[in-house]
Structure 1
Amino acid sequence: MLKGMSRRLLCIVAPMVFVFSLFLFPTSSVFAATHAAPIGPKSNYLALGDSLAYGFQPNLNLNHGYGEDFYADLKNHGTSSYANMACPGETAASMINGGCTYSVLRKFPYIGNQLDAAVLYLELNAGKVSPVTLDIGANDMLPDLNKSTCTVSSTWTTDLATMDTNIRQTILPRLSAAMTVNGQRTGDLFLMNYYDPYQNLCPSLVPYVQTLNQHLAADASGYATVVDVFTPFGGAATPNPNTCNYTWMCSIFKDIHATSTGYRVIANAFEQTAGY
């Protein structure tokens, strides 16, 4: 898709996309199961969320995200279809209402907002979609982070509550309902927490990142199983020795997104949590 775009567009988009899924982070005790045992993979895999779900990298390698890695493994279990609806820059609010800034970069075309498109996909493929993976919420909180001063804005608490409302009361209930047929859940829904790409730069912000992930875990309870990415990326200790290898923070790009190695680590976390 990107091959047909002009180089100028890419030069404009790339530096702006760097911060889309910023905020990546949690504590290790954040797992919330919706059912006693996983339902298991089915013919279709659906990936949803922001630029991490999309698989963005600043070198424009867009084919080695965690969705692609997870799908490669799922094919060994009979999964034969992969739909990645993620949009770089997506917030929980824009996932519901539309307006994702870089919708032109979508890998899977659809009209309208991502949540409606996902629900329609699930309904059209009722009983055939599992797993559904999601990472969302980081971009809602991004404006509250100041990495220059290593502080958060006065609207942090209010914005966090709004994010919770959108995820807990709209996104997860609608996805869960669309994955329920005749009163039975037909697929596994996984919500990823975030690693912290700035913990070496701003150690004082780590507690806020952990708070974000704690909120995501609470939001997921009863709807989705949380996949812990924070721990395999190095946890809360600083300096984090994995930051330079798992993200682009130490490269010329100074970018918070995962490298191909980092995306593989994320995919492994999904696989270990799913158990298949």
Structure 2
Amino acid sequence: MRRLLTLVIACLAVLVTPAAASAKPDPSAGRATSWYLALGDSLAAGYQPGVGDDRTGGYVGGVLSALQESAPKAKLRNLSCSGATTTSMLGVDRCTYEQGSQVDAAVAFLAAHKTKVDLVTIDIGANDVTPCARGTVDVACAIGAVGTVERNLTTILGRLRAATGPQTQIVVLNYYNPFLAAWLTGPAGQQVAALTTQLQAMLNGAVARSATSADADVADVATAFRSTNTTPVATAYGTIPTNVATICAWTWMCSRNDIHANDTGYAVLADVVAGRLD
């Protein structure tokens, strides 16, 4: 009887083993939790008019999903603040941080998770320059603001890089130009649109130089938004330049006079950042 039982058990083991062997391994097994740290202004906060901030949505949510394709256990920490400038990010924002400033909070987070942060994204600088382009463009104001952006952003990225070390990827987003919507108002507005195109180039040049100083990558939002493409295209607003049409389609500027991206625009920002991931 004992021999019979032993034989039956052995046969069952043979039958069960192939099925067990065919089970697919968990791709996330053995992988440690990692972090994605998001910093910046209202775009990083996922703001939309009538809704407010969405810190797990906007472009940040899309970037997290893209990151999780290679790091399934990645988590998000979003420290962004709507209305932030490069100056307030280093000092006092309308948002409250236990450590003082948004940058101080970021550095503290990085220190606590130094070897576990895969990605840092940041968009900052638009709110420094926007006051120079309301109604008309104050060129002197804009030049001064861009200079401030470059100095402060270089400092910000330098502190982030020192806190992360070289193993963490930092991606800096440049900006689309919402003021292209002024083109719809006629000749005077078209002059404003042309001037703000120059202002956009100045701002994004400052962003690129600051990124280089900290070995950070640039997500080229400006190109994705067809910022310099003036080819005429038919729209609900009539036949207008492609760059203007894109702003109308991907932001709230033409419908609500609000500079923020809509769902489509945020998806584009997310795709641009995802395309820069290591």
Q: TM-score range by the shorter chain?
A: 0.7 to 0.9
Change (3 A) 1:177 1:111: closer
Determine the structure 1 residue equivalent to 2:204.
213
Counterpart Cα distance in 1 of 2:276 and 2:67:
14
Greater percentage in helix: 2
The answer on 1:77 being equivalent to 2:80 is no
Residue of structure 1 equivalent to 2:85: 91
Provide, for residues 111-139 of structure 1, a one-character-per-residue CA deviation record: whole Å limited to 9, x for no partner: 42100000000000011101100001111
Q: Deviations over 1:172-214 (max 9, x none)?
A: 110000011xxxx121001100000111313222011111101
1:54 to 45, 49, 52: 45
SS at match of 2:39: strand
Q: Cα RMSD between the aligned structures? A: 1.9
Contact preservation (8 Å) 1:167, 1:219: yes
Cα distance in 1 for partners of 2:167, 2:76 equals 17
Counterpart in the other structure of 2:171: 190
Structure-to-structure mapping, 1:59-208, within 5 angstroms: 59-60=50-51, 62-63=53-54, 64-78=57-71, 79-98=73-92, 100-101=93-94, 103=95, 110-146=98-134, 148-149=135-136, 151-168=137-154, 170-180=155-165, 185-201=166-182, 202-204=192-194, 205-208=196-199
User: Residue 84 of structure 1 aligns to which amino acid in structure 2?
Assistant: N
In 2, the alpha carbon distance for the partners of 1:54 and 1:206 equals 25
Alignment partner, residue 6 of structure 1: none
The structure showing larger relative contact order (alpha-carbon pairs under 8 Å, at least 6 residues apart) is 1
Identity of aligned residues (%): 37
TM-score normalised to the size of structure 2? 0.75
Question: Which residue matches 2:267?
Answer: 264
Report the TM-score, using the length of structure 1 for normalisation.
0.75
Q: Distance in 2 between matches of 1:62 and 1:115?
A: 20
C-alpha distance in structure 2 between counterparts of 1:258 and 1:157, whole Å: 25
Q: What is the one-letter code of the residue matched to 1:212?
A: L
| 4+ runs deviating over 4 angstroms | none
Question: What is the distance in 1 between the residues matched to 2:108 and 2:161?
Answer: 13
1:90 match: secondary structure: coil
User: What is the aligned partner in structure 2 of residue 244 from structure 1?
Assistant: 248
Cα pair 1:128 1:186 within 8 Å, conserved: no
Task: Give distance in 2, aligned partners of 1:249 and 1:42.
Answer: 39
Code of the residue aligned with 2:85 in structure 1: it is T
Note the C-alpha offset of 1:222.
Answer: 3.5
Structure 2: gaps of 5 or more residues = 1-31, 183-191, 231-240
Number of matched residues? 221
Q: Is the 8 A contact 2:59 2:269 kept in 1?
A: yes
CA distance in 2, matches of 1:216, 1:259: 23
